[in-house]
């Protein structure tokens, strides 16, 4: 959906336009929100945050009369910032200390080094997961990152849950071997 | 302890937008209820912030969180509207499948189950649903549980043609799937269309099963049906499993598979019409017992036998027959695999055996000399506790064996576990001085592709690979024979003191190595590999169940 398409649709029926935009970018926004709140937020937190994001997007259009620039990038930025705010709000009201702090600021060299390490590890993990090939890479992400159960994954891939469990076990073993070859051990709690 | 850095899936959190997209924005599971909830939250927030009142009537009411969070399904037996008009013609299914349903007539006795042995499907459409009630004990098979398999209208088909089609399929099966042997076939005309369905029995590494095929006028094609995942959710599956029984007088096929990890039985009774359309009449799985696609009994407790009892009551209504198979090429190629893994006699020459390799993997090792069996047993127990798939199903059937392959006085640990796809599969573990860790060997596939036991791609990168598959050992020569299934024809590993693993031979359909050097896949290299195998006295490991 482009800015023009949204605007003309909005002029006809604002609700229809907002719903269409919502449906088009729902997965994208949910993925961003989940990525920020995965460790600290409940499902209700995430759904509320998604509501905040789209509400902010609609308000942005109302105030500007258009979406200037890349619509997807704009929504991504709003989603990312809103999710970070939600993250901070959650940890402020929590007794739990979360190690990862998304301040977006680099305080010193040590922090820079830490962020660089993390970025390398992220890249390595993603690369190795992708190297498993389809559908194993998706299954691994759905199981261990998105915490979906075998039935849900099976439904997405038109497989039986038993096949999903088997592929998952094998893919995980393979991933562990690949990580080991790169100098990493899979964290036990992550399996 | 390993000096490696630890890494988990949480490393993917707080990614940049590009990485989020790479993880996959479509991988999330957002169902309609969640979507509706979030849309409602959005519109409520937007209305509150903007002062504009959106038409809330347009936003569907959502399910309560509590229902979702608890995992409690909404029990809405959306029995489809009663079937009214009948059209005794299965061909109509093609046109009616989208909006219609099948009526599979079923009473409590076999005699009343399907009145016509030829088994006409009785079909109606929603548009016709305005007249009288059908027979009260009829089963409505939801249209989602109907699968239209390929079929043919040809009337000139001969048994010779079908035999040839069967052999073409079996030849390709035997040729392309080295891990399958002991193949048998059986023709049975389940749906009385004068074109027999083909049933194939096979053995695979540690497993096997039976599978059904239908003729499309040219070839035998894998038959499918729609299976319940949960209420109102289906998935397409092959008609195949551990056991197939048939009841031709009622056009019925019974397929059953037992998940030995959970004890769950996945069984179904399928009805096949003359156009090879399969209707899922009864089904038992880990979510309950279904009649015509509607869950009759929800399984919430794994120990609850009610669903199984109900399914068995349906099963015993019919007169089932076992399939009688004709062996395919009894003395031919398909038995080759079993022969290659037989222990051979000691007198054979070992001159052909390579003893060194460029492919070397240094497994974790220990210099300790004070290791006791008690310590190893404790470590072995921890292996079970930490096994990678204990959160799933497969820890209920693990066995172990000790064997000192490299002669260093510290036995290696072998684990045998049951996998749904491949039966029993074995892993080798080495002792680090503190714990047992998975053993690995090195292989460099360079640009070649290689399919592993699951058919997964395993190419372009070299690296250490788990010793995982079918394992036999030859301790006197410090050797391990590994077969990973799939395209793998076998690997011979030498396991030396210091837990050094050398890949002496690697044979797959795509790539062959001798001593870490790639060689062509030829009769000569195959003979050399066979000679290497024959030079060793291979032993099966003797496994013991975990405590």
What is the per-residue pLDDT across A22-79, written as a single tens digit (0 to 9) for each? 999 999 999 999 988 888 888 888 999 999 999 988 888 887 777 766 788 888 888 8
Residue B5 in contact with partner chain A when CB distance is under 8 A = yes
Mean pLDDT of B514-525: 79
pLDDT in tens, B211-221: 999 999 999 99
DSSP-derived 3-state class of residue B388:
coil
d(CA A64, CA A67): 7
Write out pLDDT tens, residues B16-25. Answer: 888 888 888 8
pLDDT band at B62 (very low <50, low <70, confident <90, very high): very low
Instruction: Classify burial at B390, counting beta carbons within 10 Å of its beta carbon; exposed 0-12, middle 13-18, buried 19 or more.
Output: middle
Over 70: is that where the pLDDT of B67 sits? Answer: no
Cα distance between residue A69 and residue A82, in whole Å: 19
Per-residue pLDDT at A174? 87
Give the pLDDT confidence score for residue A92 in this predicted structure.
Answer: 65
- For residue B146, report the phi and psi dihedrals to the nearest 5 degrees: -115, 130
Question: Between 1.10.645.10, 3.30.70.2190, 1.10.1740.10, 3.50.7.10, what CATH number should domain A3-92 receive?
Answer: 1.10.1740.10
The dotted CATH code for A109-184 is 1.10.10.10
Long-range contacts of B326-330 (CB under 8 A, 24+ apart): B326/B184, B326/B185, B326/B186, B327/B182, B327/B183, B327/B184, B328/B170, B328/B174, B328/B183, B328/B184, B328/B185, B329/B170, B329/B174, B329/B183
**Tens digit of pLDDT for each residue in B415-453?**
988 765 566 788 999 999 999 988 988 887 553 444 443
The mean pLDDT of A94-105, rounded to a whole number, is: 43
Q: Which residue among A126, A173, A183 places its CB closest to the CB of B12?
A: A126
Structure tokens at A173: 């073993």
Of the two residues A102 and B26, the one the predictor is more confident about is B26
pTM metric for this prediction: 0.37
Mean per-residue pLDDT of chain B: 72
What pLDDT, in 10s, does the model give residues B139-150?
Answer: 667 777 888 899
Q: Which residue has the tokens 């209707």?
A: B279
The residue among A121, A91, A117 whose CA lies nearest residue A103 is A91
| Domain range summary for chain B, segments of one domain joined by + | 9-70, 92-143, 152-327, 341-545
B1 Cβ under 8 Å from any chain A Cβ: no
Q: What is the domain partition of chain A in residue ranges?
A: 3-92, 109-184
Interface touch B8/A156, C-beta < 8 Å: no
B14 touches chain A (CB under 8 A): yes
Taking the CA of residue B5 and the nearest CA in chain A, the distance in Å comes to 5
Alpha-helix residue ranges (DSSP H) falling in A13-160: 14-37, 43-64, 71-92, 109-131, 136-140, 150-157
Q: Say yes or no: B132 contacts chain A, CB-CB below 8 A.
A: no
Within 31-70 of B, beta carbons closer than 8 Å to A belong to 34-35, 37-39, 41-46, 49-50, 52, 54-55, 58, 65, 68-69
**Three-state DSSP state, B306:** helix
- Please state, in angstroms and rounded to a whole number, the distance separating the CA atoms of residues A78 and A176: 35
CB-CB neighbors (< 8 A) of B19 in chain A: 122-123, 126
Option in A47, A130, A146 nearest B28 (CB):
A146
- Is there a contact between A159 and B235 if contact means CB atoms under 8 Å apart? yes
What's the pLDDT score for residue A104?
A: 41
Q: Which of A32, A34, A41, A58 to mutate to test the interface with B (most CBs of B within 10 A)?
A: A58
- As given in the structure block, the two tokens for residue B495 are 């396991």
Per-residue confidence (pLDDT) for residue B445, from 0 to 100: 57
The Cα of B224 is separated from the nearest Cα of chain A by a number of Å equal to 12
Q: Is the pLDDT of residue B82 over 70?
A: no
The pLDDT score that the predictor gives to residue B422 is 60
Q: Which residue in chain B has the smallest CA separation from A186?
A: B7
* Greater model confidence, A120 or A108: A120
Contact list in B for residue A39 (CB cut-off 8 A) is 10, 13
Distance of alpha carbon B46 from alpha carbon A58, whole angstroms: 7
User: Among residues 432-461 of chain B, which lie with CB inside 8 Å of chain A?
Assistant: 438, 440, 452-454, 456-458, 461
pLDDT above 60: residue B1: no
Other CB atoms within 10 A of residue B139 CB: 23
Show residues of chain B in contact with A146, CB under 8 Å.
27-29
Asked if B427 contacts B466 with a C-beta cutoff of 8 angstroms, the reply is: yes
User: Can you say how many angstroms the Cα of residue A170 is from the centroid of all Cα atoms in its chain?
Assistant: 25
């Amino acid at each position: 959906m482009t800015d023009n398409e949204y605007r003309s649709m909005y002029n006809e029926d604002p609700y229809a336009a907002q719903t269409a935009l919502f449906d088009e970018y729902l997965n994208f926004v949910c993925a961003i929100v989940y990525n920020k709140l995965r460790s600290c937020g409940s499902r209700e937190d995430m759904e509320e945050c998604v509501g905040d994001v789209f509400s902010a997007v609609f308000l942005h259009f109302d105030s500007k009369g258009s979406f200037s620039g890349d619509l997807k990038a704009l929504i991504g930025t709003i989603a990312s910032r809103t999710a970070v705010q939600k993250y901070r709000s959650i940890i402020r009201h929590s007794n739990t200390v979360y190690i990862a702090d998304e301040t977006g600021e680099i305080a010193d060299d040590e922090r820079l080094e830490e962020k660089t390490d993390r970025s390398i590890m992220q890249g390595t993990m993603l690369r190795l997961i992708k190297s498993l090939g389809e559908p194993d890479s998706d299954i691994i992400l759905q199981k261990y990152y998105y915490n979906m159960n075998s039935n849900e994954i099976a439904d997405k891939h038109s497989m039986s849950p038993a096949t999903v469990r088997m592929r998952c076990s094998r893919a995980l073993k393979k991933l562990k071997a690949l990580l080991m070859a790169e100098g990493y051990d899979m964290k036990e709690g992550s399996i | 302890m390993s000096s490696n850095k630890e890494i988990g899936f949480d490393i993917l959190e707080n990614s940049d937008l590009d990485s989020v997209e790479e993880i996959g924005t479509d991988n999330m599971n957002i169902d309609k209820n969640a979507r509706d909830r979030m849309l409602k939250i959005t519109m409520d927030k937007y209305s509150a912030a903007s002062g504009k009142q959106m038409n809330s009537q347009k936003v569907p009411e959502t399910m309560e969180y509590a229902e979702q969070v608890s995992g409690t399904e909404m029990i809405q037996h959306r029995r489809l509207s009663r079937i009214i008009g009948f059209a005794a013609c299965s061909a109509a299914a093609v046109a009616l499948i989208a909006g219609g349903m099948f009526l599979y007539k079923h009473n409590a006795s076999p005699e009343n189950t399907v009145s016509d042995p030829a088994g006409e499907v009785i079909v109606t459409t929603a548009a016709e649903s305005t007249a009288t009630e059908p027979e009260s004990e009829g089963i409505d098979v939801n249209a989602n549980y109907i699968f239209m398999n390929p079929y043919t209208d040809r009337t000139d088909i001969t048994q010779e043609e079908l035999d040839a089609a069967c052999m073409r399929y079996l030849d390709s099966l035997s040729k392309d799937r080295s891990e399958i042997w002991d193949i048998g076939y059986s023709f049975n005309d389940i749906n009385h269309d004068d074109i027999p369905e083909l049933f194939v029995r096979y053995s695979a590494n540690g497993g096997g099963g039976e599978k059904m095929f239908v003729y499309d006028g040219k070839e035998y094609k894998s038959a499918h049906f729609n299976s319940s995942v949960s209420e109102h959710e289906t998935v397409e599956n092959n008609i195949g499993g551990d056991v197939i029984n048939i009841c031709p007088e009622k056009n019925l096929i019974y397929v059953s598979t037992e998940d030995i990890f959970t004890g769950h039985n996945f069984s179904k009774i399928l009805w096949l019409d003359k156009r090879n359309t399969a209707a899922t009449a009864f089904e038992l799985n880990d979510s309950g017992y279904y009649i015509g696609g509607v869950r009759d009994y929800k399984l919430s407790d794994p120990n609850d036998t009610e669903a199984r009892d109900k399914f068995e009551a349906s099963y015993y209504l019919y007169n089932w027959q076992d399939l009688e198979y004709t062996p395919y090429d009894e003395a031919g190629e398909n038995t080759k695999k079993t022969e290659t893994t037989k222990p051979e006699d000691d007198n054979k020459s070992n001159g052909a055996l390579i003893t060194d390799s460029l492919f070397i993997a240094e497994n974790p090792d220990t210099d300790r000399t004070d290791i006791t069996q008690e310590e190893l047993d404790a470590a072995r127990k921890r292996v079970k506790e930490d096994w990678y798939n204990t959160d799933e199903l497969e820890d209920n059937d693990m066995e172990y064996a000790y064997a000192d392959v490299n002669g260093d006085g510290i036995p290696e640990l072998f684990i045998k576990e049951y996998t749904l796809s491949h039966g029993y599969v074995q892993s080798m573990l080495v002792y680090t001085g503190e714990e047992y860790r998975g053993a690995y060997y090195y292989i460099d596939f360079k640009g070649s592709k290689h399919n592993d036991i699951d058919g997964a791609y395993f190419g372009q990168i070299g690296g250490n690979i788990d010793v995982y598959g079918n394992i036999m050992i030859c301790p006197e020569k410090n050797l391990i024979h590994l077969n990973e299934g799939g395209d793998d024809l076998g690997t011979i590993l030498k396991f030396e003191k210091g837990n050094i693993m050398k890949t002496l031979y690697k044979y797959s359909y795509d790539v062959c190595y001798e001593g870490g050097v790639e060689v062509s896949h030829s009769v000569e290299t195959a003979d050399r590999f066979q000679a290497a195998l024959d030079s060793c006295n291979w032993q099966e490991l003797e496994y013991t169940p975990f405590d």
